Amino acid sequence: MPRLRLDKVALRLISRLQAALSPRVADGQVVMFSVTAPIRLPSKTAAELEADISQCLRRGATTVEISDTICGNQVRVRFAKGGARPASKVVGFVHNPGTDPRVLFDLTVGLLRHIGAAVDKRPPESFDGDRWLVIADEQGGERIGTYRQVYSQLGVSTDFNKMLVVFADGQVETLTG
């Protein structure tokens, strides 16, 4: 299971890249990046990663995955189409060594796809009850922390009263609400 780092250095790096890159990302597209902790030379790493991602955006990259080492840090970037309209078009993760960032990226894309499909499927006008979204996950409930972290970064606005994740081991967790 991914072990995310949420210390000051990690949060600053993520925040800086989100602020710099979000205006450049096209509607319907999401850029995800990961950096393995501990972050060496965070300012230089952020600047180089921003330049690399910006170059891909200028070329019109839409479904690219990049794996590289920047300033001694293992980084990975994935461009994907988003199903839902996230408030943040840039999602970043800083994780411990041994974590496969593809798991984080796949979870992010899956969450966007599920939320987007459910938002597009409107209830009948006569429906006046609570609207819930239930997501089934084939893994165990230990992933709920990662789901919550991803969802908080996306900032997707929905009209669901409650969002639940049901895991293969029978565990049911609230994502929001």
Mind listing the pLDDT tens digit for each residue in 23-68?
Answer: 999 888 899 999 999 999 999 999 999 999 999 999 887 777 899 9
For residues 141 and 172, the model is more confident at 172
Tell me how far CA of residue 47 lies from CA of 22, 54, 153, in angstroms: 15, 10, 21
What pLDDT score was predicted for residue 153?
86
What is the arithmetic mean of pLDDT over 9-22?
A: 96
The percentage of residues in the chain with a pLDDT greater than 90, rounded to a whole number, is: 60
**pLDDT-derived band at 155, boundaries 50, 70, 90:** confident
For residues 92 and 155, the model is more confident at 92
> Which class for 24: exposed (0-12), middle (13-18), buried (19 or more C-beta within 10 A)?
middle
**pLDDT-derived band at 156, boundaries 50, 70, 90:** confident
